[in-house]
Each structure stands twice: as structure tokens, then as C-alpha cells.
Structure 1
Amino acid sequence: MESLRVVYRNPVIEGVLLLAVIIQIISGLSLFFKKRKSLTGFYDKLQLWTGMYMAFFLLIHVGAVLTGRFILKLDTNFYFGVAGLNTFPFNLFFIPYYGLAVLSFFGHVASIHFQKMKKNIFGLSPRKQAGIILWIGCIYLVITFYGLTNGFQGIEIPSAYHVLIGK
């Protein structure tokens, strides 16, 4: 993270990244309101709703990181990201918040894969391939939460980040 900050915190690069996020959110919301009543299939609906959640997540996530960095003057590093995830009762919000973000990403990819694939691969139909992508997302989520919570034991949060958890 430290070595890559030279690149992604460059004002030009950061501006382009923020603009890309804003465009994703606006285009996703536009598609949601345009298509929400005309979709019928499971993967069509999954793509629509996972896209809506990812727009919500990006809006909150980017806003929180910018607030932490510019207003709270915190290093928005690993501890910034896991403070709420490892502290009760905040984890009651952050577990579903992050969990749905990961599952929405994989659900969105699975939906697009299902829509674009026209043939079987390894004898698996596009529907089964999309299902495998969803299962990979579930497995990835458990592994990620395992790592972000020190094997579900919790991570000691440094005192600089106690402002995030009300200590």
C-alpha cells in the first residue's frame, strides 16, 4: 500500500480514479432506473440489484475514506478499514456492509458472464458457470473475513483509530 500510494495518490491519478467512480455510480443508477421494471430472468435481476448495491457501497466507501483522510487526518490503511469490522456493535453494520459488497461484485460478474456466454465450457452450461462464480465469491468472502479478523479472533485497533469506534 505504501509503495503504491506514490501512484494512486498523485493528484491527477486520484482525480481520474474518483471521476471513474462517479461515472460508475451515475451510469449504474441510470441503468437501474431505466431497466428495473423490464427484467425477468434471475441473472438479469441479480445484475441490476448487485449494481445498485455496488453504487451504494462505492458512494459510502469513498466518502468514508476521504473523510478519514482529510477531516479526521487518519492514515486510511488496513486499520482504518477493519476498525468497525472488529468492534462490537459496529461489526453488526460492517459485516453485512462488506459482505454484501463482495457478494455483489461476484454476483455482478456472474450475471454478466451468464448473459455473454453462449456455449458450454468443460461441459458446464453458462448457468452452472455463473453459479460457480457465485460460489467462488462466497468462499472468497469467508477467507477475506477470516484474514481481516485475525482468524475471527479480532484485531487490536491502534489508539489513533479509536475515534472511528467511539473509544
Structure 2
Amino acid sequence: MEDRINAMQTDAIAAIVDQWKHERPDLDATPMLVIGRLFRLTGLLDERLRPPFAAADLGNGDFDVLAALRRSGAPYALPAGELSRTLLVTTGAITKRVDRLEARGLVSRSVAASDSRGRRIALTADGVTLADDLIAAHLTNQRHLLAGLSDEEAAHLASLLERLTATLATD
């Protein structure tokens, strides 16, 4: 029992799999070692990645809008529909985010030249400055979070995650 308690302290997911091995030896619980850890990592990463955005008074997803516009290149503007597709969120979610960012003077809306029903979202000068500052901090933070892996390990993990994503995306 003491071994199981020690295992739970160092790796909760391995401890859960161990418990299932003990309780249901007829089942293979090893997929939890990957899926459970991915879920746990999602929470841990969010905790560590969110603070710079919160400090800039950005809501969840707001930085994604700024970053998508900034990386699109000058003039840092996209049609709302393309922004929605780029960020893999609904147009309703884009509207809410753009409303918040527009109220802060970080983006502007204009009528799309090709379709008067469509809207073009563009970064303002303040939006470009904030996006540039935050992406630098974000990448530094990400580098810090991956410091426990060698460059080769990080590249291998990225490749495995890409393959897993591609496999799931085709289902």
C-alpha cells in the first residue's frame, strides 16, 4: 500500500493505472498513461501560460485573435470568417473576442471590400505593439516549460503529437 501512495505522489496517472491493474487485471489501462497525462498537462500548461495574458487584461482566446492577425502579415487584417477558421472557433466566439478587443482599441472592424455583409478585422497600432510584446513573452515562457526536454526530445514529442493529432482528425 505504501508503494502505491508513493507512486501517486510522483505520478498520479501511473498510480491510477496501477490501481486498475490491481482491481481489473483483465483490462489494459495503459492508454491512460498517454491520455491521462495529456489531460493533466493541459491543465498545468494553462496555469503557466495564462498569467502574461491575464496581466495584459486579456480574456481567454483574446491573445489568439491578436496573434492570428499579427502573424498574417501587414496590414495585419483578416476577414472575420477566415479568422474564425484560422482559430478553429465559431464566428460567435470571434465576435465576442473582437468586441472586447475593439473596446480596448486593439483591433478595428471595417466592411470587407469583397462582400459588404462581411467584416474585416485589423490590428490597431496598439494591437500590434501588444501582440509583439506578448508573443515574445509567450515563446520565452514556452521555452522555459520545455526546459526539461532536450531539443531532440522536444522535436520527437512534437512529431508524435502531430501524428496523434492527424490520426484523431481523420476519425
TM-score when normalising by structure 1: 0.30
Higher strand fraction (1 or 2): 2
Higher helix fraction (1 or 2): 1
RCO (CA 8 Å, sep 6+): is it higher in 1 or 2? 1
TM-score when normalising by structure 2: 0.30
Q: Which has the larger radius of gyration?
A: 2
